[in-house]
């Protein structure tokens, strides 16, 4: 079974971002000349459900390669396959619905903890989220694999804020600026070396300057033989 085949969202949802594990792309260099013994995949996708609703779908899969556990078995063996769906209000980023599904698991009783993840409902995915996750779902209080997936999903919600506005602009046929302001999330200052408080990027923002367009957008426009002005006009 392919990661993408389980519980596909309705066709009216706009797929706005996909991160952490895209098996159809060459993410890894060629394998080293060793015996492969395990693969873990995370994939997180975000969907524009409506102007005020974002959906995150996360999947974690642990896979043993062909013939490792069961001799002469022609197929890989999935040890874990957990799915977590979060419906999130936009722009408040409050989780309105949480559903955990256990498709593959090593013990019969693993599924008994799935409903525990409904405790996510009503939580903000930004303010103190990771600390609350540790409080509610760490160790014996939940499933370690689903909780690890949850921690990988949280940053995707923040990464999707701009994309929510982009998707709304595309559907309306207007510029991003005409959509209005997005939610006020935590400052990115000092979250990575690019956003160091004494760095050039922060200095540019403080001076009221424009942040450069994403490098991937710039490169792709050039590959398509199109002008970078296209992005600037769409931003408004």
- Domain assignment present for 160: yes
Residue 89: inside a domain: yes
- The helix/strand/coil state of 176 is helix
Pair 105, 191 in one domain: no
pLDDT of 102 > 90? The answer is yes
Quick: pLDDT tens for 65-81.
999 999 999 999 999 99
Q: Judge if 196 and 116 occupy the same domain.
A: no
Q: Which of 158, 177, 196 is the last residue of a domain?
A: 177
Helix (H, G, I), strand (E, B) or coil at 227: coil
CA 66, CA 76: separation in Å to the nearest integer?
A: 4
Q: Which residues contact residue 129 at a Cβ distance below 8 angstroms, ignoring those fewer than 6 apart?
A: 123, 154
Do 142 and 199 have their domain in common?
A: no
CB 120 within 8 A of CB 108: no
**Quick one: 75 and 161 in the same domain?**
yes
Whether residues 159 and 194 share a domain: the answer is no
Q: How many domains does the chain have?
A: 2
Q: Give kind and range of the element (H or E) at residue 101.
A: strand 95-104
Specify if 130 maps to a domain. Answer: yes
- Contact (Cβ atoms closer than 8 angstroms) between residue 113 and residue 143: yes
Residues 173 and 202 in one domain: no
Range of the domain at 81: 3-177
Domain assignment present for residue 60? The answer is yes
Predicted local distance difference test score (pLDDT) of residue 23: 46
Q: Contact, 63 vs 41, CB < 8 A?
A: yes
Residue 57, in any domain of the structure: yes
At residue 228, the 3 state secondary structure works out as coil
| Domain identity same for 52 and 80 | yes
- Judge whether 140 lies within some domain: yes
Write down the pLDDT at residue 21. Answer: 42
Q: In a 3-state reduction of DSSP, which class is residue 100?
A: strand
Residues 147 and 216 in one domain: no
Q: Is residue 182 part of a domain?
A: no
Q: Are residues 157 and 193 in the same domain?
A: no
172 with 191, same domain: the answer is no
Least confident window among 181-190, 195-204, 216-225: 181-190
Q: Say whether both 158 and 199 belong to one domain.
A: no
Is residue 168 one of the residues assigned to a domain? yes
Confidence band for 201, pLDDT divided at 50, 70 and 90: confident
pLDDT by residue (tens digit) across 1-41? 445 444 444 444 555 544 444 445 577 788 889 999 999 99
The answer to whether residues 116 and 168 belong to one domain is yes
CB of 136 within 8 A of CB of 115? no
């Amino acid at each position: 079974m392919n990661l993408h085949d389980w519980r596909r969202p309705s066709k009216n949802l706009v797929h706005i971002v996909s991160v952490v594990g895209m098996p159809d792309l060459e993410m890894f260099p060629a394998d080293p000349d060793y015996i492969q013994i395990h693969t873990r995949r995370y994939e997180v996708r975000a969907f524009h459900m409506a102007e005020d609703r974002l959906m995150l779908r996360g999947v974690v899969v642990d896979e043993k390669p062909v013939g490792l556990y069961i001799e002469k078995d022609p197929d890989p063996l999935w040890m874990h396959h957990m799915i977590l769906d979060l419906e999130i209000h936009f722009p408040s980023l409050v989780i309105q619905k949480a559903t955990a599904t256990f498709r593959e698991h090593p013990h019969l009783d693993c599924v008994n903890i799935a409903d525990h993840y409904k405790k996510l409902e009503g939580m903000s995915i930004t303010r103190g989220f990771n600390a609350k996750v540790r409080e509610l779902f760490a160790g014996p209080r939940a499933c370690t694999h689903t909780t690890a997936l949850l921690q990988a999903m949280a940053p995707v919600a923040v990464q999707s804020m701009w994309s929510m506005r982009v998707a709304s602009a595309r559907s309306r046929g207007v510029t991003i600026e005409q959509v209005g302001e997005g939610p006020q999330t935590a400052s990115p200052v000092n979250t990575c070396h690019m956003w160091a408080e004494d760095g050039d990027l922060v200095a540019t923002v403080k001076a009221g300057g424009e942040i450069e367009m994403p490098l991937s957008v710039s490169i792709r426009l050039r590959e398509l033989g199109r002008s970078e002005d296209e992005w600037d006009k769409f931003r408004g």
